[in-house]
Amino acid sequence: MKIYQKIREYSKGKGETMRDVAEAYGVTPQSIQLYFSGKNAMPLSFLAWYIETHPEIDLYALFNKEQQSIVSEPKATYNKKSKKRDVIDRIVAILEEEL
């Protein structure tokens, strides 16, 4: 996977729109679209800015062609929101079992 593809997929996964990225970086959404599609080379200044604003990105993973994820630790997945009472009940159950 190429760097622009990794950045594009990461940004998409974070819920960032091209407009969001463009406004934060100070260019047009069309410029970001060209970077994310690979039609224009991603400038080093953009890449440095993006990494700086997303400190969870692992540089080794970003530049390693074999690695798909560019975050050092994968984000935990959550199936549903829990009610406060359910969480407290589970904690109490675990403590009772362990103590």
95: left (phi over 0), alpha (psi -120 to 50) or beta: alpha
The answer to whether the pTM exceeds 0.85 is: no
Give residue-wise pLDDT tens across range 36-95.
999 999 999 999 999 999 988 888 888 888 777 777 555 555 555 667 787 788 888 888
pLDDT in tens, 66-80: 777 777 555 555 555
